[in-house]
Amino acid sequence: MEVKVMKDILGQNDAIAAALREKLAEQRVFVLNLLGSPGSGKTTLLEKTIAALNKKLRLAVIEGDLFTSKDADRIARHDVPVIQINTSGGCHLDAPMIEKALKELNTDALDLLIIENVGNLVCPAEFALGEDTKAVVLSVTEGNDKPLKYPLIFKESALTLLNKIDLVPYTDFNVAAATEDITTIHPGAAVLPVSARTGEGLAAWIDWLLARVREKREAAR
């Protein structure tokens, strides 16, 4: 019984996500669903990303959090359109929440929409939001074992950003081993070591993002 209920919920979510994906494809907006634990550095990375891209393309952000508009306030300081969704304790965003938020965004005038999901390595991986691609932020302070312990999120994500690479000398994090685990779970996935603090590796991440935006624009023709 419970299994059927869960299947129905996911089925309804996927139907709404598919409709959103179609609408956003017509508008040629590349949509990234950004996942990761609380504190992995998602919002800091977004702030750096906006600073690098704001003059090159038209972007907007949707922030998902249980409570507060703290992250949306951080993004709004960079002068980009931002919508905060509060899940009131819910552990992930879902497609109906995005559908509602998009009523307040002029997506026709966008090249890139980034959705920062609720900080969590489990449930957000299960719910499609109409995105083109998922990326996950794993910070080196979280430990090497996380990809194997939470495989679905790494399986779903085309890119893993290994953030806080500046802190590696203070941890026992092994970049080569983590990369191997991630690419075993998801052959072909990209893994980029970055530091949202020092800027190390961010150029490769920006290039990755620009390539996806370009692909989307060309595919939609």
Ligand X SMILES: Nc1nc2c(ncn2[C@@H]2O[C@H](COP(=O)(O)OP(=O)(O)O)[C@@H](O)[C@H]2O)c(=O)[nH]1
The residue among 131 and 142 lying less far from ligand X, judged by its C-beta, is 142
38 near ligand X, rule: CB under 6 A: yes
As a whole number of angstroms, the distance between CA 21 and CA 143 comes to 34
Is there a contact between 140 and 167 (Cβ–Cβ < 8 Å)? yes
Query: Which residues from 191-210 bind ligand X, rule CB under 6 A?
Result: 195-197
64 near ligand X, rule: CB under 6 A: no
The residue among 95 and 196 lying less far from ligand X, judged by its C-beta, is 196
As a whole number of angstroms, the distance between CA 194 and CA 45 comes to 9
DSSP 119: S
Least distance between ligand X and beta carbon 166 (Å): 5
71 near Mg ion, rule: CB under 5 A: yes
Sort 106 into a burial class: Cβ within 10 Å, 0-12 / 13-18 / 19+.
exposed
Is there a contact between 122 and 151 (Cβ–Cβ < 8 Å)? no
Least distance between ligand X and beta carbon 28 (Å): 28
3-state DSSP call for residue 77? coil
Is there a contact between 212 and 32 (Cβ–Cβ < 8 Å)? yes
Least distance between ligand X and beta carbon 71 (Å): 6
49 near ligand X, rule: CB under 6 A: no
- Candidate segments 28-36, 63-71, 82-90, 200-208, binder of Mg ion by CB under 5 A: 63-71
- Site residues, ligand X (CB under 6 A): 36, 38-44, 119, 163-164, 166-167, 195-197
